[in-house]
């Protein structure tokens, strides 16, 4: 395209094509390489854990013998944690989001709260564990219980829930709110009857994604004292507990190779659960986007 090279032009089109194609290939390799690596690693875990994956594994209890080990207390613990965490994090998180989006006057206090929330999102999860240890386990005397674990996780998830809920609330068109006000509704009636139900799928998606993160959290739970060897089912919110990632961690820490097979099997179960949760969130989001256009 260029004839004589003017100042600033160094190459012809044809000379440029080779290096450009090579660079494009390098970039694509850089993108695909980690994905391939992950696939290989997950595949190896699947192969390694496969012999142990059975109904008795899912319904059994941990044992000193690797072949007899099961993850039932871990599954029950994780399930209990998720239920309690949602019960604590959702009202507070959605409530805070509603306040920030619908009620808060724009000013210094509101900006302070917003900056604070984004800072909290960046705090390492183990620090939340330390907070939970001092505040819930010791100061509020909850002990190393499911309740303390759930409270700690709820604080950890709070910034995520608030941010996702605010996003969902923002997608509700202002015209809907103004229509309600025009009919004489006050702010809470508008929120309760119109805004919240419209934003609900987006909020639910955010909650499911936050839960998918919480189910894999290990460090804060270890810090507040979740046990790593729990051959019993938790019988109340005050009882000691374990969770699936902690059980996996316990098996990894054991020297016998049989326990590594258990760990791999546990990993497959955990990944399957997370796949389900993320899939659910994706389906919800797709449904929501379809309805939002109508």
Q: Which of residues 18-77 bind other proteins (CB under 8 A)?
A: 19-20, 23-24, 26-28, 30-31, 33-35, 37-38, 41, 44-45, 48
- Residue whose CB is less far from other proteins, 96 or 284: 96
Rounded to 10 degrees, the C-alpha dihedral 65/70/72/73 comes to: 30
Q: Is 173 in the site for other proteins (CB under 8 A)?
A: no
Contact 84, 152 (CB under 8 A): no
Span of 7-15, 55-63, 77-85, 285-293 interacting with other proteins by CB under 8 A? 7-15
Give the residue with the Cβ less far from other proteins, 146 or 155.
155
How far the first Cα of the chain sits from its last, in Å, is 50
Chain positions 200 to 259 lying near other proteins, rule: CB under 8 A, are 212-213, 215-219, 222-223, 225, 228, 245, 248-249, 252-253
Residue 11 in contact with other proteins, rule: CB under 8 A: yes
Q: Which of 3, 4, 8, 107 binds other proteins (CB under 8 A)?
A: 8
Stretch that binds other proteins, among 57-65, 71-79, 121-129, 233-241 (CB under 8 A): 121-129
Neighbours of 88 (CB within 10 A): 19
Q: By CB under 8 A, how many residues form the interface with other proteins?
A: 98
Q: Count CB neighbours of 249 within 10 A.
A: 19
Closer residue to other proteins (CB): 72 or 74: 74
Cα–Cα distances (Å) from 167 to 136, 162, 204, 235, 240, in that order, read: 30, 9, 12, 38, 36
Q: Rounded to an integer, what distance in angstroms lies between the CA atom of residue 174 and that of residue 96?
A: 19
């Amino acid at each position: 395209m260029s004839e004589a090279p003017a100042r600033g032009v160094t190459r012809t089109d044809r000379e440029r094509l080779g290096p450009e194609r090579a660079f494009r290939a390098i970039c694509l390799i850089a993108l695909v390489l980690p994905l391939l690596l992950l696939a290989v690693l997950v595949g190896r875990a699947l192969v390694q854990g496969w012999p142990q994956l059975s109904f008795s594994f899912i319904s059994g209890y941990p044992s000193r013998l690797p072949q007899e080990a099961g993850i039932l207390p871990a599954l029950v613990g994780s399930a209990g944690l998720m239920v309690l965490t949602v019960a604590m994090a959702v009202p507070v998180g959605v409530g805070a989001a509603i306040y920030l989006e619908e009620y808060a006057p724009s000013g210094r206090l509101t900006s302070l709260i917003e900056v604070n929330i984004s800072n909290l999102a960046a705090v390492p999860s183990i620090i939340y564990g330390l907070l939970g240890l001092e505040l819930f386990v010791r100061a509020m005397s909850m002990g190393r219980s499911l309740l303390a674990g759930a409270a700690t996780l709820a604080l950890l998830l709070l910034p995520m829930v608030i941010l996702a809920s605010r996003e969902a609330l923002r997608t509700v068109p202002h015209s809907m709110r103004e229509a309600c006000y025009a009919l004489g509704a006050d702010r809470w009636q508008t929120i309760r009857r119109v805004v919240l139900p419209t934003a609900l799928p987006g909020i639910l998606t955010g909650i499911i994604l936050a839960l998918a993160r919480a189910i894999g959290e290990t460090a804060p739970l270890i810090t507040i004292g979740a046990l790593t060897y729990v051959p019993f089912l938790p019988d109340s919110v005050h009882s000691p507990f374990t969770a699936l990632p902690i059980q996996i961690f316990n098996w990894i820490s054991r020297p016998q190779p049989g326990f590594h097979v258990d760990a791999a099997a546990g990993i497959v179960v955990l990944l399957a659960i997370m796949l389900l949760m993320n899939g659910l969130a994706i389906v919800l989001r797709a449904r929501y986007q379809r309805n939002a256009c109508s």
